Amino acid sequence: MLAIPGFVDPHTHIPFHGERSEEFVMRAVGKSYVEILKSGGGIHSTVKKVRKASIDNLVKENKKYLEWMLKSGVTSLECKSGYGLDFENELKQLKAIKKLSEEVPQTLISTFLGAHAVPQKGEKAYLTELIDMMKVIKSESLAEFVDVFCDEGAFSVEGSFDLLKRAKDMGFKIRVHAEELSSNGFASIAAELGAVSVDHLIKIKDREIPTLEKYGTIALLMPATSFYLKTMYAPARKLIDNGVPVALGSDFNPGSNTFYSPLFVSHLAVNHLGMTPSEALVAQTLNAACVLGIENEVGTIEMGKSADIVILDAPRLEYLSYMPTNEIVKAVFKNGRKVFEN
Ligand code: NIG
Ligand code: FE
């Protein structure tokens, strides 16, 4: 058996409501993610469902996903809003996260992603509204991070910059969805602004990499989304070889990726990102904890930290990415307490 630190998933889209398997089938026969998003589907389709759900609906459905994740060894993770796109429903999602964190064993860290898709009223009007939302979210301590989806079909570089600057001035930590669908240079702009992590980076250009290195920004890569959307993979090797810290996450969500298993992510990291098995493990534990600001509590098995430990039926570290089935997860401990056994 192998004992490893509990996995930290620093990027999920929990809580959401409902499913989008129809879109998955549309993409399988040739439609693209952006085409579906621009025609009012994609994120907008989950927004319609989340708006109809109650906090209790959200808690019930997402508790199930958190249980799946626990069984695959995830003991801490990020959750975010972004499927409400208005004051009432963004807040509802954040409150559901708070409630979930009282009901599940995992540590949950909350992010406000009100800027996930542009609602009907348009970017400019909505950005003003987002600033008002941030004030309330800050005063009620409902999120630690503010995130923005700056990409084709989502928010502009200028709008994203203004929003993050305001967020930073209000005392939020900032992070971004950048260069997932297009290359717009926002990863380095966000790094300069002080983003803790820049997430996705499938299409990042080589010239941006030194900026990430300079500011110590964490490149958070999510190869399961590349796999799911059948796109390129982020240049993990180049980032690591140029001194950029790399973390790995699932990006678990109802549209662009429904894989949540850290073992599967580890497989993709080794097989498609060119990371070594030990680089992958560090990226899914300590580096992921650094993204969430919980590296003093979790991420390593060490005196003084919380005993978040996963026991794997694996003869050696390489086995995780080689045999990425959740069946090898034999026990999960959260803060010294056994919370799952198989
Ligand atoms: O990280 N890129 C934006 N957001 C998600 C997709 C969310 C969705 O499609 O519902 C992502 O891929
Ligand atoms: Fe995401």
311 contact partners, CB below 8 Å, separation of at least 6: 1, 2, 3, 329, 330, 331, 332, 333
| Whether the CB of 153 sits within 6 Å of ligand 1 | no
| Ligand 1 geometric centre to CA of 305 (Å) | 32
**Maximum Cα–Cα distance across the chain:** 56
pLDDT class for 323, splitting at 50, 70, 90?
very high
β-pairing, 2-5 vs 309-312, is antiparallel
Instruction: Give the span between the Cα atoms of 171 and 174, in whole angstroms.
Output: 9
Averaged pLDDT, 130-155: 97
Domain membership of residue 293 (yes or no) is: yes
Residue 56 host element (H or E): helix 55-71
Query: Reading across the β-sheet that carries 7-9, which strands appear in turn?
Result: 7-9, 74-80, 107-115, 145-150, 173-178, 197-200, 218-221, 246-248
Is 227 within the bounds of a domain?
yes
CA 193/CA 130 separation, integer angstroms: 19
The confidence score (pLDDT) of residue 188 equals 97
CA distances from 303 to 30, 63, 307 (A): 52, 30, 9
Residue 74 · residue 8 · CB < 8 Å: yes
Q: Give the closest residue (by CA) to ligand 1 atom 1.
A: 251
Q: Is residue 319, in this structure, part of any structural domain at all?
A: no
Predicted pLDDT of residue 308: 98
- pLDDT of 203 reads 97
CA 306 to ligand 1 centroid distance, Å: 31
Q: Tell me the ligand closest to 83's alpha carbon.
A: 1
The alpha carbon of 113 and the centre of ligand 1 are apart by a number of angstroms equal to 11
Joined together, the tokens standing for residue 94 give 């954040």
Q: Please identify, by atom number, the ligand 1 atom nearest to the C-alpha of residue 255.
A: 9
Per-residue model confidence (pLDDT) at position 330: 98
* C-alpha–C-alpha distance, residues 46 and 81, integer Å: 12
Q: How far is the CA of 177 from the centre of ligand 2 (A)?
A: 6
Question: How far, in Å, from the CA of 280 to the mean position of ligand 2?
Answer: 19
Mean pLDDT along residues 32-45: 92
The model's pTM: 0.98
CA pair distance 106, 66, nearest whole angstrom: 8
Ligand 1, atom 11, lies closest to the CA of 256
pLDDT tens digit string along 209-226?
Answer: 999 999 999 999 999 999
Q: Which domain holds residue 295?
A: 7-301
> Which atom of ligand 1 has the smallest separation from the CA of 177?
2
Is the minimum distance from the CB of 251 to ligand 1 under 6 angstroms? yes
Across all residues in the chain, what is the average pLDDT?
A: 97
pLDDT in tens, 173-193: 999 999 999 999 999 999 999
- What is d(CA 173, CA 157) in angstroms, rounded to the nearest whole number? 18
Please tell me the total count of domains within the chain: 1
Q: Which of 251, 252, 258, 259 has most ligand 1 atoms within 8 Å of CB, for mutation? A: 251
Read off the pLDDT band of 332 (50, 70, 90): very high
The answer, yes or no, to whether any atom of ligand 1 lies below 6 A from the CB of 225, is: yes
pLDDT digits 0-9 by tens, 63-84? 999 999 999 999 999 999 999 9
Half-sphere exposure of 311 (CA within 13 A, CB side): 14
Dihedral (CA of 14, 16, 19, 23) sign = negative
What pLDDT is stored for residue 94 in this prediction? 98
Q: Within a domain: residue 264?
A: yes
Distance of CA 4 to the CA centre of its chain: 21
What is the pLDDT at residue 302?
A: 97
- What residue's CA is closest to ligand 1, atom 12? 256
Distance of alpha carbon 70 from alpha carbon 80, whole angstroms: 18
> How many Å apart are CA 315 and CA 312, to the nearest integer?
9
Closest CA to 7 of 249, 177, 321, 254: 249
Q: What is the pLDDT of residues 304-320, one digit of tens each?
A: 999 999 999 999 999 99
Atom of ligand 1 nearest to the CA of 11: 1
Percentage of the residues of the chain whose pLDDT score is greater than 90: 99
Cα of 303 vs centre of ligand 1, distance in Å, is 37
Establish if 332 belongs to a structural domain. Answer: no
- Structural domain contains residue 322: no
Q: Is the CB of 255 under 6 A from ligand 1?
A: yes
Q: Residue 3, Cα to own-chain centre: how many angstroms?
A: 25
Average pLDDT over residues 252-278: 98
What was the pLDDT predicted at 288? Answer: 99
Of all residues in the chain, what percent carry a pLDDT higher than 70? 100
Is 42 touching ligand 1 by the criterion CB < 6 Å?
yes
Q: Is residue 180 in contact with ligand 1, taking CB distance under 6 Å?
A: yes
**Residues, the chain, total?**
342
pLDDT band at 17 (very low <50, low <70, confident <90, very high): very high
Ligand 1 center to 205 CA (angstroms): 21
- Residue 315 falls within a domain, yes or no? no
CATH code of residue 56: 3.20.20.140
